[in-house]
Amino acid sequence: MKHRFVVFIALVFLFFLSHTSVFAGDGFIKISPLVIDEKAKPRDIIKESITLTNTTNSPLTLFSFVEDIVNDGAKVEFLGAKNTRGSLANWISFPSTIDIQKNEKRSVDFLITVNPSATPGRYHAFIALPHGSVRQDIEGRVGNGAPQVLINLEVLDSNVDLLQLQKFISTKSFFIRTAPSFEYGIENAGTRTLAPTGEINIYDARGEEVATLNANNNAASIEPGTTSHFVASWEGDKNFGRYKARLNVAYQDNQHGSLQDSVFFWVVPQKILLISLGILFVIILLFSFVSHRFQ
């Protein structure tokens, strides 16, 4: 891929090097710079300028032609402006005609408005400025001796990957007859659909991990601008005590984003609760019996 790109740049450079200056009447039309390199994001508007010099003794009318350049392996193909989001030529707003007086040197401003849906990557186009009296008569001379400037634009990735944790709670403070369960909401505040992955780790009062739950068991995705709600339950036998649940969610290939939070809860097995209530009931009866006996 790198070899193809180097070959492409070399061919384009040689093409434009051969068209640095162009005879027009009894002198030359010169254009500067010959190459413009830019980087931008979708929706960006870039202001550019080139300098034209008419070294002839006659006023000239220049007609602009903006075309895309496509790199197909080692072949450089020149195309007309395509009305698509992938056409750099279509993003360039350049004056259609320029009147330049004899021996005049002037600047010409133009804009590059990057399509909002442009795909990240490299784009190439050229602006040709042949002279003449009627546009139709010179269309065939666009690539044959007309002064030209090469535009290279790299469209950067403007997507944002951002998840925000709205809440992480246990559905109860004490779990007696039901399995401990947890609810959490995650908002996608970015621009791309994301599928969070991760775990809920359960620790006992001694800090030892006793269980691990899948934080997104169904591999659900979250659309941009929406909030998804998740539920996870801890099934199986559990001992009496206070526990900590720690949520650890990652996204964007576990490299750039993570969400973490913790919550505490109690587990009281029903058998232990019944035994405790029975003991308490016996204590109350004994206390009542002793109280009446010594009255």
- CA angle, corner 43, sides to 39 and 46, nearest 5? 50
* 34 close to 16: Cβ distance less than 8 angstroms: yes
CATH of the domain at 219: 2.60.40.2550
Domain assignment of residue 279, yes or no? no
Residue 40 pLDDT grade (very low, low, confident, very high; cuts 50, 70, 90): very high
Whether the predicted pLDDT of 37 surpasses 80: yes
Co-location of 135 and 192 in the same domain = no
Range of the domain at 221: 163-269
Domain tally for the chain?
2
pLDDT digits (tens, 9 = 90+) for 192-245: 899 999 999 999 999 999 999 999 999 999 999 999 999 999 998 888 899 999
Residue 19 pLDDT grade (very low, low, confident, very high; cuts 50, 70, 90): very low
Average pLDDT, the chain: 82
Domain assignment of residue 213, yes or no? yes
Residue 6 pLDDT grade (very low, low, confident, very high; cuts 50, 70, 90): very low
Residue 272 pLDDT grade (very low, low, confident, very high; cuts 50, 70, 90): low
Whether the predicted pLDDT of 5 surpasses 60: no
Strand partners, 123: 153
Q: Among 113, 137, 155, identify where a domain stops.
A: 155
Domain assignment of residue 196, yes or no? yes
Co-location of 77 and 179 in the same domain = no
Residue 266 pLDDT grade (very low, low, confident, very high; cuts 50, 70, 90): very high
Domain assignment of residue 288, yes or no? no
Strand order in the sheet with 163-170: 163-170, 181-188, 227-233
Q: 0.75 cut: is pTM over it?
A: no
Residue 86 pLDDT grade (very low, low, confident, very high; cuts 50, 70, 90): confident
CA gap 116, 198 in Å, rounded: 33
Co-location of 11 and 60 in the same domain = yes
Distance (Å) of CA 12 to CA 48, 65, 78, 139: 20, 17, 10, 21
Q: Which of 43-52, 171-180, 255-264, 275-284 has the lowest mean pLDDT?
A: 275-284
Whether the predicted pLDDT of 79 surpasses 70: no
Whether the predicted pLDDT of 78 surpasses 60: no
CATH of the domain at 57: 2.60.40.10
Residue 18 pLDDT grade (very low, low, confident, very high; cuts 50, 70, 90): very low
Single-letter code of the amino acid located at 191: T
Residue 147 pLDDT grade (very low, low, confident, very high; cuts 50, 70, 90): confident
SS (H, E, C) the chain: CHHHHHHHHHHHHHHHHCCCEEEECCEEEEEECCEEEEEECCCCEEEEEEEEEECCCCCEEEECEEEEEEEECCEEEEEECCCCCCCHHHHEECCCEEEECCCCEEEEEEEEECCCCCCCEEEEEEEECCECCCHHHHHHHCCCCCCEEEEEEEECCCCCCCEEEEEEEECCCEECCCCCEEEEEEEECCCCCECCEEEEEEECCCCCEEEEEECCCCCCCECCCCEEEEEEECCCCCCCEEEEEEEEEEECCCCCEEEEEEEEEEECCHHHHHHHHHHHHHHHHHHHHHHHHCC
